């Protein structure tokens, strides 16, 4: 398949599955089977991470500007007296705190995860099992919490859920939104915090993949990389916009059923030796 067409298709798949709670890894595991082995190359890995990051930064640019300006102002005026910081400045600190678990798990266990749990059956089990947990959390979670109610403890717990999503099939957005719902946050607030929290991790992953590509023997195809990144960024922003509107009026049930159906399909494909 033409590398540019492959880049566009992978960019669309990445954007849709990264931001919806259905697991990008659970879908991209099938990419080499459908789009050819080159679909898993570092060129596409780097491009998709860059595109995902640009979607989050672009769609929430007002949030990032408010957080940055407030943090700079409050650090100058209040120093380390965090209790006197504004809501936006504290949110930036809470996002940093929530990023720590994923950084620790990524540094310590990324190689082990790559070697031991990137298996279609593991992905299928995670799709189904975590999907059921997402459904329970969304169904019975409270709907009174807003971002202003975020605390260090809650942010850290949501960050731990994000770290668990390094296991393929879990879904980063699904795990973090479900945890936020369990902690009492309404759906729009849970989704917004989940997307904001993803930015530092996605940026770190993108930098790591780019460093690997530069240091390794892989030849980076800059054209397909940029096309994949642009596609993931544009489609990703549209997906975020649609999902945020969806969370204002609906539950996550449709995604739960989709995860279960996909998990069963992956199990069937393994049984028939298709993947």
Residue-level pLDDT at 22: 93
Return d(Cα 149, Cα 178) in angstroms, integer.
17
Residue-level pLDDT at 275: 75
**Chain centre to alpha carbon of residue 154:** 18
Contact 168, 28 (CB under 8 A): no
Residue-level pLDDT at 223: 87
Q: What is the DSSP letter of 68?
A: H
**Chain centre to alpha carbon of residue 34:** 23
CA neighbor of 172 nearest in space, from 161, 188, 183, 184: 161
**Chain centre to alpha carbon of residue 12:** 15
Contact 257, 34 (CB under 8 A): no
- What is the chain's pLDDT, residue by residue, as a tens digit (275 residues)? 588 888 898 889 889 999 999 988 777 766 666 665 555 566 677 788 889 999 999 999 999 999 999 999 999 998 888 889 999 999 999 999 999 999 999 889 888 887 888 788 999 999 999 999 999 999 988 777 888 899 999 999 999 999 999 998 999 999 999 999 999 999 999 999 999 999 999 898 888 877 877 776 667 778 888 999 999 999 999 999 999 999 999 999 999 999 999 999 889 988 998 77
Longest dimension (CA), the chain: 64
Tokens of 80: 């380390």
Residue-level pLDDT at 150: 94
Residue-level pLDDT at 6: 84
Sort 108 into a burial class: Cβ within 10 Å, 0-12 / 13-18 / 19+: exposed
Residue-level pLDDT at 43: 67
Residue-level pLDDT at 241: 96
């Amino acid at each position: 398949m033409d590398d540019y067409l492959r880049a566009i298709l992978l960019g669309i798949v990445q954007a849709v599955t990264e931001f919806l709670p259905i697991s990008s890894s659970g879908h991209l595991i099938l990419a080499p089977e459908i789009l050819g082995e080159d679909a898993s190359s570092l060129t596409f890995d780097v491009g998709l991470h860059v595109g995902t990051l640009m979607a989050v930064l672009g769609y929430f640019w007002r949030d990032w500007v408010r957080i940055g300006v407030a943090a700079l102002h409050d650090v100058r005026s209040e120093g380390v007296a965090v209790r006197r910081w504004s809501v936006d400045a504290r949110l930036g600190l809470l996002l940093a705190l929530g990023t720590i678990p994923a950084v620790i798990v990524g540094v310590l266990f990324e190689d082990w995860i790559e070697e031991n749990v990137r298996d279609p059956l593991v992905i299928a089990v995670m799709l189904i099992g975590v999907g059921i947990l997402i459904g329970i959390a969304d169904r019975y979670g409270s709907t009174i919490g807003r971002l202003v109610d975020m605390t260090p403890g809650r942010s850290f717990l949501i960050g731990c859920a994000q770290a668990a999503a390094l296991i393929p099939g879990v879904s980063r957005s699904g795990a973090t939104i479900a945890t936020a719902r369990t902690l009492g946050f309404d759906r729009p607030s849970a989704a917004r915090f989940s997307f904001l929290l993803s930015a530092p991790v996605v940026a770190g992953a993108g930098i790591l993949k780019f460093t690997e590509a530069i240091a390794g023997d892989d030849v980076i195809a800059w054209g397909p990389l940029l096309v994949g990144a642009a596609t993931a960024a544009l489609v990703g922003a549209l997906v975020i916009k649609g999902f945020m509107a969806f969370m204002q009026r609906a539950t996550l049930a449709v995604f739960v059923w989709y995860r279960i159906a996909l998990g069963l399909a992956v199990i069937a494909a393994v049984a028939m030796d298709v993947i």
